[in-house]
Structures are given as C-alpha cells and as structure tokens.
Copies of this chain bind each other. A is one copy, B any other.
Amino acid sequence: MTTTDKQRIAILGASGYGGVEFLRLAWEHPNLEVTYCAGHTTAGEKMGELYPHLPPPLADIVLGPIDVGKAAEAADVLVFCLPHSAGMDMVAEAYDIGKTVVDFSADYRLKNVAEYEAYYEVAHTHPELLPTAAYGLPELHREEIVGSRFIAVPGCYPTSVILALAPAVKHGLVSTGMIIADSKSGVSGAGRKASLTTHYSEVNESIAAYKVATHRHTPEMDQELGDLAPGSEGDEIKVTFVPHLTPQIRGILSTCYAQLAKEISLAEVYEVYADFYADEPFVHLHPLGKLPATKHITGTNRCDIGLAMDERSGKLVAVGTVDNLLKGLSGAAIQCLNVAYGWEETTGLPMVSCWP
C-alpha cells in the first residue's frame, strides 16, 4: 500500500540538532510538507535566529509551543525530537488520537520496561504501547514498519553496532558470550547544549572514553542482537560497550570484536554479510581488504561496514559507521516514513557524501 497524498509534518523540538536536520530533509522530501515546528524555550523565535545558516523561507518559520493539540491540528505526522521521558506522554497522546508518531527518544525502543527504567532512571508511564512501537531499523524490522503508525527511532550508537554484527550473530558465526563494541563518536552527538564537554578548546585535539560499560544505548544492542541470536530467548547477549568522544562533528565508527564460534574464513564471513545486506539500499559493505571511515558516509543515510579477522586469536572485527544525525537519527526517521507509507525507501535521502 502506498500513500500518495503529501503527509503534513509537525516537528516538536525543532531547535535541536536532530530537529533541524529532520527539518532540512523533510523540507526537500517530495511526499512531506512541514506545517508545524515547535520548541520548548524557543517558542516564539524564528528558526533563522537560532540557525543563521538557514535561508528564507526556512529562516522565517516561527516556532510554536510544544503542544500535541496544536501539532495535531496542523499535521498528520508528529515527530518528537525531545530528550528521553520529556515527550513520553505526548507521544502516547498523539498515537491515541490517530496520528502517526515518530519518536527520537529512547522511550519506546526497549521492549523490557525494567531495563528502560533501570537505565533511564524514570518510570515508564505507557508500557502498554511498547509492543506497538516499531524499532525503526528497517534492515531488521522492515515488516513491522510497513504501515506502522508508531516508529521508535534507534539510538545512533546501536545502529552502527547492530548492523555491524547482525549477520554474524544471526548466523551463529560468533559466540554470544564475548562481544565488545568500541565506538568513536563526533561531538554533535552530545547535542547543541553548550558545556565543557562540547567546548572546542577542550575537545579538539583530544580523544576520551566515557560512560564505560554504563551507557544507556547498551540495552538496545543487547535487545536487538539478542533477538537475532539463534535459539535465543533474547537475553543472552551482554555487549561491552565503550563510547569515545572524538574531535569530529559528525560520524560514529564502531569497531566490534567477537569471538568466532567456529572455524570459518574471512571470505566466508564476507559472503554471509553480502547475502544478508544484498537488497539493503543504505548498507554498503566495503570490499574485502578495505575498511570504511566516518568521512565516507557523513552527510548520507548510509551505514558502511567493513570486515577483518584476527586469525591468531579467532576474532571477528566488524566495523560499522553511520552519520549520527542521518542514519543514526533524522535520516533513519525519514527512511522509516518512506517504508511506513510505501514510498521508495531512498526518497529524499542522500546517498553520496561530499568529498572531501
């Protein structure tokens, strides 16, 4: 089924990086029409005052309040670009009145309420909706997304890690007991809020690990990879996840390590990956012997993957890279809308990065 009418879009939280990137993409999407933009502290301001790179008419958009009623009046699709828990009830409200909702936060990603509440330290007010929300990774959940009215956009780190490991886990090539994801992220992942952590003078020419094995994106990786594992009950994978802050604006590169579960050559592993992603428009497997860099994909909705092996110790090394604001967030949201409404999946999404 394909929806041919233009869908009207409300962006709640349009003044953050995810929101403004979604605005840019939606603005040029042939099937979307942005009809409402809202901000919390920025209501009443013009987008051009907040973002001087925006030319008219984008610059002239006046932000309204973050209000489901007003948004629902103006739009068919409500896109919530809010911090976790801030939009939890509004998302439910919008869904209940029949709107299509896209949630950038983590609120409806985890199927296990207890995990959510433990990692996010807040009670979940709408656990009944968790089974309804599709995890917005079409490469693994395309069927659930088709026709869905409720998309929970995955975290940026999980997208890079899950796609890098999915074929190996699903086909039982690696042991589920030892999976390490060492991720390197650009600074934009921390959002627009000014802080020492995002201060140019403090983060340029510097790399640091943070939130070792405690980052909130960890349970998403466990959930999605656990579900893929053969014979799994979905609870046996515990990814050791260590994110790093690195001096680049955009881009996540995740180097994933897993113990091979059987004797297999790199060429054979490569074939498994090539088959797994054969029809995926946004997953690009680099040739054997080559590895992707973040710069290969920034500005695009791609996830590039490269494979290598440590034959001495029997380890698979799978590298996945995404632009944290595109395939890692706003681009994924567009891709899911394309799938949900039956449009060509690549509509309105850049495929080739500017170089250099």
Count of chain copies: 4
Q: Pick from A200, A240, A292 the residue with the most CB of B within 10 Å.
A: A200
Chain B residues within 8 Å of A255, by CB? 182, 209, 242, 244
Shortest Cβ distance from A306 into B: residue? B209
Contact assessment for B200 and A24 in the assembled complex, using a CB-CB cutoff below 8 Å: no
Q: CA A177 – CA B310 in complex, angstroms? A: 13
Q: Which residues of A35-57 are within 8 A (CB) of B?
A: 51-55
Q: Do B207 and A204 have beta carbons less than 8 Å apart?
A: no
Per-residue 0/1 for A316-339: is the Cβ within 8 Å of any B Cβ (1 yes, 0 no)? Answer: 010100000100000000000000
Distance of A212 Cα from B289 Cα, bound (Å): 10
Task: Report B-chain residues with C-beta under 8 Å of the C-beta of A257.
Answer: 180, 182, 240, 242, 257
Q: Is the CB of A249 within 8 A of B291?
A: no
Known A180-B257, A198-B194; contact A205-B296, beta-carbon cutoff 8 A: no
Cβ contacts under 8 Å, A250 to chain B: 205, 354, 356
A125 within 8 A of B: no
Which residues from chain B contact A353 at a C-beta distance below 8 Å? 53
Check if B213 sits within 8 Å of A308, measured CB to CB: yes
Judge whether A262 is part of the interface by a CB distance below 8 angstroms. no
Give the distance in Å from the alpha carbon of A356 to the alpha carbon of B355 in the complex.
17
Q: How far, in whole Å, are A244 and B53 apart by their CA atoms in the complex?
A: 18
Which residues of B lie under 8 Å from residue A205 when comparing CB positions? 186, 205, 248-251, 294-295, 298
A-B contact pairs, 22 of them (CB 8 A): A17-B201, A52-B296, A53-B355, A54-B352, A55-B284, A55-B351, A55-B352, A178-B178, A178-B313, A180-B180, A182-B255, A186-B205, A198-B200, A199-B200, A204-B204, A205-B251, A205-B298, A207-B251, A208-B253, A208-B294, A212-B291, A212-B317
Binding site for B on A (CB under 8 A): 17, 20-21, 24, 27-28, 51-55, 58, 177-178, 180, 182, 184, 186-188, 192, 194-196, 198-210, 212-213, 238, 240, 242, 244, 246-251, 253, 255, 257, 259, 284, 286, 290-299, 302, 306, 308-313, 315, 317, 319, 325, 351-356
